[in-house]
Structure 1
Amino acid sequence: MDPQNLEYINQLLDKDVELREKIKDQVTEFDKKTRTLTGLLNKIHSTPPSQVPELVATVTPVLQSCKETTAALAELTPPNQFWRWKDMWSVSLRNAVFSAAFVEYLRSGGLLSLPRAAETLGIKDEWQDRFTLSAEDYLHALITMVNELSRLAVNSVTMGDFEQPLKISTFVKDLFAGFAMLNLKNDALRRRYDSLKYDIKKIEEVVYDVSLRKLAPVQTDNT
């Protein structure tokens, strides 16, 4: 092989390694932030309803700081190479979206849309070819949120909040119905979607127990 060609290939390989290390550094920083978010949000399982707004307030600044990391990753990633590098940050991004979605539920009882999730993390439309929030990553994050809500349904009763499981049940069933209308071809995503049935069953058992004991008003659920 031509020595000049070898030298050129070596330079390309070196640049690849250098870029990978830079992205890895940012992903490590992203992981630190998402671990902090998860740790803070885990406190919800022992937080009385009256103190939930205070907990959300402590999480929000950390969530906002994720914008710095997404911007750094977008700047590092070369144009039209999103799919080449996305696996490096995919797990971190899903965890960040989970935190954003969970915060939205705790704040308003509603679902954080994909565009709003991207906006919350500072992901801009013009980054589409470099760094974006894919539908797959968004859906994985929502499934993680349902996993966490099934825990919260149980722990809310322990703390004397008997209405929360009913609210969670309505929210999760509505979300599950939405998933059922999607054409899920991704095997990993499909398996995780199927597992939601166990979370729903767990939540329904809590709601049944609360209703049977007449600890909370009976709600009509048409979902």
Structure 2
Amino acid sequence: MDADNLEKINSILDADVEIREKIKDQVTEFDKRTRNLAGILNRIHSTRSGQMPALLETARPVLASCRESTAAIADIIPPNQFWKWRDMWTNSLRNAVFSATLMEYLQSGGLLSLEQVAGLLGINPEWQDRFALSVEDYLHGVITLVNELSRLAVNAVTLGDFEQPIKISLFVKDVFAGFSMLNLKNDLLRRRYDSLKYDLKKIEEVVYDVSLRKLAPLAKHES
């Protein structure tokens, strides 16, 4: 290689190192926010249904603060380099998707769309070539939501909320049906989708037990 070529290569490498360090700093902050959010939401397993709205109010400002992280990361990424750097923030983004969808389920019983989650996280469509919520990251977040709801189905019964497992069962069956219609090529995503069958089985066992004991009006109707 001639000197000019080596100099150009070194300049590119140095620029990449600088970008990487800047991204790393912002992802560290993003991680802190998503961990804080997950810590707050973990209390749902020991919170009675009547106290859930107050818990969600505590979580909302933390979710909103994630918009600062997405904007800061997007500001660093050069045009058309989304796929080059996305692995650095993928885990944080999936955790944020999980928390956003969990909060929506607890509030309305519904599932946020990809576009709705992106909006909540302040991800601007104009950033598409720099920072975006991919379908893959959205689906991973939804799978984590189902994982968490299977745990909640068990703990809700412990707290005396016998209708929650029935609601969770109907919701998860709907999500599972949606996933079954997708043509999943990604190996990791496919394996995680397969694991939903175990979550669904676990939830159905809780519902069966509640139905057998006739502990909830909906359970009587469901059975």
TM-score range, shorter chain: over 0.9
Which residue in the other structure is 1:59 paired with? 59
What displacement does 1:4 show? 2.5
What displacement does 1:9 show? 1.5
| Distance in 1 of aligned mates of 2:87 and 2:31 | 14
Which residue in the other structure is 2:175 paired with? 175
| 1:163–1:79 CA distance, 2 compared to 1 (3 A) | same
| Distance in 2 of aligned mates of 1:90 and 1:9 | 28
| Distance in 2 of aligned mates of 1:105 and 1:148 | 11
| Distance in 2 of aligned mates of 1:103 and 1:50 | 15
Which residue in the other structure is 2:196 paired with? 196
Q: Any unmatched runs of 5+ in structure 1?
A: none
Q: Map 1:1-223 to 2 at 5 A.
A: 1-217=1-217, 218-220=220-222
Letter in 1 for 2:97: V
Q: What is the aligned residue count?
A: 221
Q: TM-score, normalization: structure 1?
A: 0.97
Letter in 2 for 1:43: R
| Distance in 2 of aligned mates of 1:77 and 1:115 | 21
DSSP 3-state at the match of 1:133: coil
| Distance in 2 of aligned mates of 1:219 and 1:30 | 44
| Distance in 2 of aligned mates of 1:131 and 1:219 | 46
Q: Is the 8 A contact 1:64 1:121 kept in 2?
A: yes
| Distance in 1 of aligned mates of 2:159 and 2:42 | 15
Letter in 1 for 2:177: A
Letter in 2 for 1:74: A
Q: Is the 8 A contact 1:146 1:196 kept in 2?
A: yes
| Distance in 2 of aligned mates of 1:8 and 1:186 | 36
> What do the CA deviations read for 1:102-159 (whole angstroms, capped 9, x no partner)?
0000110100111000000000110111000000000000000000000000000000
Q: Is the 8 A contact 1:169 1:207 kept in 2?
A: yes
What displacement does 1:91 show? 0.6
| Distance in 1 of aligned mates of 2:21 and 2:103 | 32
Moved over 6 A (4+): none
DSSP 3-state at the match of 1:123: coil
Letter in 2 for 1:97: V
Q: Is the 8 A contact 1:82 1:129 kept in 2?
A: yes
Q: TM-score, normalization: structure 2?
A: 0.97
DSSP 3-state at the match of 2:130: coil
Letter in 2 for 1:87: D
RMSD over aligned CA atoms reads 0.9
What displacement does 1:2 show? 2.1
What displacement does 1:5 show? 2.3
| Distance in 2 of aligned mates of 1:158 and 1:9 | 61
| Distance in 2 of aligned mates of 1:10 and 1:124 | 33
Letter in 2 for 1:98: F
Q: Is the 8 A contact 1:166 1:219 kept in 2?
A: no
Q: Any unmatched runs of 5+ in structure 2?
A: none
What displacement does 1:220 show? 3.8
DSSP 3-state at the match of 1:122: coil
| Distance in 2 of aligned mates of 1:219 and 1:29 | 47
